[in-house]
Structure 1
Amino acid sequence: MAAWQAELANYPLLILQAAALLGILSITLLLSRTPTERVESRTLLYGSVFGITSFALIALSSQFFNLPSKPYLSSDLLFLGGLLGGWRGGTITLALTISARLIFGGFNQVEAFLLDMSITTAGGIIAHFVYSKKPLMQFGWKEVLKIWSARMACSMFSSGIIFLLKLVPPKVSAHVTALQIVGFSTSLFILGCVIALLRVDAHIRDSYFQRMKMYRTDILSGLPNRRALSEYLETILHKNQSQHVLLTFEVGNLKEMVRILGHDWTDKFWGHLASQLTNQETLKMTSNEKSNCFQLSDLALAFVVQETCVAQIENCQLVPRLYADVMEHLQVAGGPYSNVQLRCGVTNVRTADDANASSVLRNISLALQSSNQQIRYFHDSFSAQADKDAKVHELIIGWIRNINPPLNYQPKFNLETRVICGAEALLRAHSAEGLPLSPLYVLDVATRYQLLLKLEWCTVEMVIRELAQCMAKGFHTPLSVNISAASITVPDFGERILDRLDRYRVPSKMLSIEIIESGQVPDIDTVKENIHKLNSAGVGLSLDDFGAGYSTLTTLAKIPFDEVKIDYAMVSMIEQPRMNKAIGLALESATRYGARLVAEGVETETQLEILVKMGIKFGQGYLFSKAVSMNDLIELSRLEKHVQ
């Protein structure tokens, strides 16, 4: 009876300790409520908090060590350390509690308290594994009572073992039993309040993560959005110092698709395309990590390929194969998807970039919108690419101002006699550092800066001027110049060419206009008028890349071309039966419309022999000559005359 009275007198002290514990736990939950941390990741934190609290309570209660029992909540803290912290957190709580007991209580009855603490901690750890898979927000009073029952069972079990082993005197055992029974109500209060606090914390966290998920998810497609992609890039760049590659896929004919299908068609399309991309074997082989698609914008998807670079991606032809596979799938799927045209951008993402992930995404989106290429590789960082573009822009402005674009001329030969019968003007530019610049890149920059029409016109004017100079030197070989479909739609374009020919006193038959992107020439009055004026005056008209892309028989039927060209891709495969037949059909079509056929990219004697046997009389390529300067072209012509 005396033991009960003594332990009941200590009850207020237990309540004060319980209140302190709940206050400490509340502050811990508040301070640890970070955006990136979930409850399951705080096992070590729980173990440390309960262990330090137990250590402090034992230190504050050290004055009671001369009593048969000690009024502090170490057993509850040990159980909670195991319950919330698992074996890691429980071990930390146990270690700190044992350390405090040895420091402030010595080795008196060491076997008893070691056994009691170990059993209590083990009970908490077992309860952790039993209830860890159940969400905290689903915990109710039934779960609280079950956990409390487990807590009581641990205490009674340890007391029974200690009593049977006679590790403490009977009087002390009676006080311990009384303290445990008195403390059971406190334990129930603590467990109920702790679980209530954790439920509130879990609810707050769940609400926060649901909001964050909404912020990171595209509402219509359900895919991770631009914010999620930006955070993902920042994470992998911080985690892994290697560079990575960002693939972006954008709809190139959005206006056409919206006109046909309305604005809602993309909602399902992006999910469909994302599924195809994530299941592509070619992408799975490039990355050990599971890859996801992100909604970069309403018009584009993004895909991250880790630990590689643009050069490696380009060398292994990953993107063309991936692009072909996706387009083939869209064609097979049929319906509205069969008309979709995609553009793909490939760029490096590295920690050395001046820009962060958000600016990388913004820059690549702008770059894709300003380009008509199906696949575009960005080898440089965007800051370096912008500097490079600016320098090329300045070069283009200078060429336009001075009418002096850097041109070389690819000689055109009679295949039977190997005599020069013409030449094609080609852009051959170099950077300020003397490095060659791709003609396609220069034209792309001109297009983005809306200078393409001016660049093409100054090229036409320079070719006419050089024709006049060459004729003055006795060189009377016709020259051709390439223009885009956009130039032929400019009002009075044909009249301006005739005016320049007249000004420089160059016969119209000495100039030929090669139209590229011929399938994009609209059937409008301005085009018809320009074509009519050029054709009537005797200016030659050439259809470039006949049989490829948009260059169709319909185009040949509408415009009176004097010449059609088959490109390097067809000539290089002329030994293959199917391609040989295709070239034969091209020759037959050209002949029917009164045009001569010219083979580009002739590089071997075998190709030359086959072309001659097929009846193709004209060609150009490295077998005869590379593109040369005007002076070298004149010299080649003179050498031919000397040989003859």
Structure 2
Amino acid sequence: MKHRSGPDDSHQSLFILSTGDRDGIADLVRDQGWQAIAVRRRAGAVQRYLAGDALIALVDIRNVKDPLPLIGPLAPAVEASGGGLIALMDANRLDQVPELTAIGVTHVLSDPVTPDALRAALACAQAMTDRLGGGVAQARRARRIRRGDSLFWHFDPRTRRVRLSEALARTLSLPTEAMNPAALLRRVPRADRAMVAMALRGMIRTGRLASFVHGAPGGGADRMVHHPRISDGVVVGDVEWLAEGHHRDMGARDYLTGLRTRQDAMNWIETHLVKDMTLLSLSISQFDRMNAAYGQVAGDALLGRIARRVERMVDEVTGPGPIVARVAGTEYLVALTGDHAAPERAIFLARRILSAISRPFNAGDHLIRLTARCGIAQSRPGDDALHLMRRAGMALADAKQAGGEGIRILTADHRSRQVDTDQLETDLRLALNRGEIGIVFQPQYPVDQQRIVGVEALARWNHPKYGPLGAGILFATAERSDYMLPLSAHIQEQALRQAANWPAALSSLRLSINVTAADIAQPDFMANLLGMVDRCGFPRARLTVEITESGLIEDIDAATTLLAAMRAEGLAVAIDDFGTGYSSLAYLKSLPLDYLKIDSGLAQDIAGSARDRIIVRGVIHMAKSLGLKVIAEGVETEQQLDLLANEGCDMYQGFLRSPGVSSTELVALVSG
């Protein structure tokens, strides 16, 4: 029996890409009661998918020698929409399924296609889409929210006619053909019509664009927000859903996202601080570049979409109770109480939120990728809202500066972190003499073995008032106070002295120390470094000097000379954090290197979309072709490790195996 799709059953539309049998597949799909949106050409296919309301896509790769050009560009768009991707393939090529799933395929359908097999594939893809929406009971609302990126309208000022996208027309029960704006206005709840009419008339009369909000047609708790923008002389209105409950208490809500404001969040925190509380402070990285590329209006709309993802993840992990607020331009706050305030629960939620934000966003016919950082602070006796929020802000500042997964936590055991930055600069000059700057060693492992072969020396500041401060705050303070050179030399010498006194169990380990751009700019840098190594008694043959790529790019010729001289003296040389700046694979051929260290963010992309994997694969293969060993930083999952190993990565470090440890703990790890 055919399934009949209702007016709001967006999951019953299927996007089809077939270069050879578009119409035949479309007919089979329609026989199953699905609406077919079918194209022949891969050029523009992603834009067609994003503009439509289908969540599930089917790509015909029968008789296609290389499926990547067809599937690769479409897979991130399907993932961003929370949909499924079906590959229709030849039955004698099913051995390619693992490769296809690695680039984004979620289901396969083999030729010849029977109605039963097609029905089963569509049902499985639909069930997966429903699960991504939060379960069967919430599937319809979740699909509607996911479809917010494909809800839009066009208004032509010359004809004064408006045309709706298919998804918006279905939502408002209106036709897709051009109409008078009055027809759109009549679908707005009566209480909101005057405000919407005023916004539309003002836009037509002055050309100024302003977002506006109204209730959903037919009532209910949801709200719809319209974000107008100019595109080729036509006004385009991007529409998104605000989740239930956001219409209430709008006086205490942020006008762009519908979240609580900073002041309202502070009031709530002050009221609930009698209980255990943990704050998550989130910041979106490099949002200004996104604004520059797509415009302020698109940026404002994206802030709301980020808010929806944060809210959905909080609701999924904790259920009702926690609050979510927008406290600054691109900063969000989540307040947890009770059992959810435990550190391990807060870190778990932070990881889920950062993962959700990293998934692509649809913006018209574009995909936008963002990253985020998170600082976590637990309440302490005597805290008020301001102090707790400031401590969360300090944890966030540390997370922004540090590498790894982008999360930093201050537990309740730490002293107050209401940090006076001017005082920190003064304290840093005393910290070296007081022995407050400590060293930890992060183990490095071969990708195919469990044994430790080397370590990277990392700095920690054990501040007498604020407790442990990570490298992010430490180096940021040093830069502000023009104290980078003494600090860097101190860290290098402490690491070398400790390593020189390691017991026999660690005698085979390599040691990596970091040098900064300020270090290598000094004319006597190499002589001072070699003198330090020899005084400490650490063997040159076991030492690797890691130089950040940003310190090299400015003067390739000088860097080439310096690195060649260090290698001639028996040191190994690595480029650290490759992938964080404006990386150029081409300049690697000019530099005499031993290792290339892939930045944690780039290494973690190996488990992302097909395009992410292509970029990481290109970096690794280029380095290997130049005879370099490749070390991946920030590896957190077995999946990341397996993929990196398959691409030829030699070594890795990260929380999957071990954080930074003391020399004593390192001995236990190696001996155990």
TM-score, L = length of structure 2: 0.43
TM-score, L = length of structure 1: 0.45
Pick the structure with more strand per residue. Answer: 2
Pick the structure with more helix per residue. Answer: 1
